[in-house]
Amino acid sequence: MPPAPTSALLVLAGCLFGIGALGFLIRRNLIVMFMSVEVMLNAANLVLLAAARDRGWQVEGQILVIFVIAVAAAEAAVGLGLITALHRLKKSVSADSATDLKG
């Protein structure tokens, strides 16, 4: 059943979060930036589950993970709706094309 030590899980989650942060920072494509955000949310889920398992199978961790998944789904839907709206306006999904608020 539970094979992996908590510290290894935390290191794995840290690496996943770092990869997501890297993708969010180095890409300009808004869709890939959103994918990176999803990876970071998954890393947070992994930390929550590792902590829940470490503290004697507390259910609060799992419940928080369910909520994070629901919020991530809502965020992905709204974000992709925004991207399609922006693409209709600018004919581009590059983050550098959305500069209309610049003074």
Partner 1 sequence: MESSPVLTWILAALLGAGVLVSAYNLAGKRAPVTSGVFLVLLAAGLWAVFGLPPALALFAVLGIGTLGCALGIVLHPNPAVSAVYMMGCFTGMAALYLVLGFPFLAMVQILVYSGAIVVLFLFVVMLLDLGRRGEGWSDFRPGLAGPVLAGGLTGTALVAFLVAASSAKGAVKDALDPALLPVKASQAASSVSAGAGFADSLFGKYLLPFEAITFLLLAALVGVILLARPPASGRKEA
Interface contacts to partner 1, rule CB under 8 A = 1-12, 14-23, 25-29, 31-32, 34-36, 38-39, 42, 45-46, 49-50, 53, 56-57, 59-60, 62-63, 65-67, 69-78, 80-85, 87-88, 92-94
Three-state secondary structure call for residue 94: strand
- The nearest distance, CB 40 to partner 1, in angstroms, is 10
Q: What would you measure as the largest C-alpha separation in the chain, in angstroms?
A: 57
Residue 38 vs 98, nearer CB to partner 1: 38
Which residue lies nearer to partner 1 by CB, 14 or 102? 14
What is the smallest separation between the CB atom of 96 and partner 1, expressed in angstroms?
9
Structural tokens at position 71: 């919020």
Main-chain dihedrals φ then ψ at residue 5, nearest 5 degrees: -70, 150
- Rounded Cα distance, 22 and 4, in Å: 26
Minimum Å gap between C-beta 87 and partner 1 is 5
Closest separation in Å from C-beta 37 to partner 1? 11
- The answer to whether the beta carbons of residues 44 and 68 sit under 8 Å apart is yes
Residues whose CB falls within 8 Å of the CB of residue 82, separated by 6 or more in sequence, listed in order: none
